[in-house]
Amino acid sequence: MPMVKDSIQKEVVDGWRVFVSNLERSLDLLEKDIDETAEMSKACTSEWCTATEHVLDEISNSLFSISEPSWTSKEDSAKLKKLKKRIHELYGQYATAASKKK
């Protein structure tokens, strides 16, 4: 039975890593959008602010509610911690961009 347990643990961790990587890519895209909008003062509309805040909230909820399997490595834990810090930084970038709304 140890082989089945090892196989299951590997599948769970691999799936978890894919999910976390997808969240990271989503943060990359969102950060790019926030940066581009912050450079164009008139682009920061109420609609953009509402949509961006919604996406930030959804990604944040996903990051902070994700259950970390006990089988993950220290590197995996560090990556998740880094992404959680990054979402806070993105909220700050968003707030700066949103304050330029005209």
Using 50, 70 and 90 to split pLDDT, how confident is the model at 61? very high
pTM: 0.82
Using 50, 70 and 90 to split pLDDT, how confident is the model at 65? very high
| Cα–Cα distance measured from residue 49 to residue 101, given in angstroms and rounded to the nearest whole number | 9
pLDDT digits (tens, 9 = 90+) for 9-39: 999 999 999 999 999 999 999 999 998 888 8
In the chain, the number of structural domains is: 1
According to the model, what pLDDT value does residue 41 have?
A: 62
- Identity of residue 66: I
Pick 5 or 32 by higher pLDDT: 32
Q: Which domain holds residue 75?
A: 2-99
pLDDT digits (tens, 9 = 90+) for 66-102: 888 888 899 999 999 999 999 999 999 999 888 876 5
Over residues 47-61, mean pLDDT:
93
Residue 88 CA neighbour count, 13 Å, CB half: 6
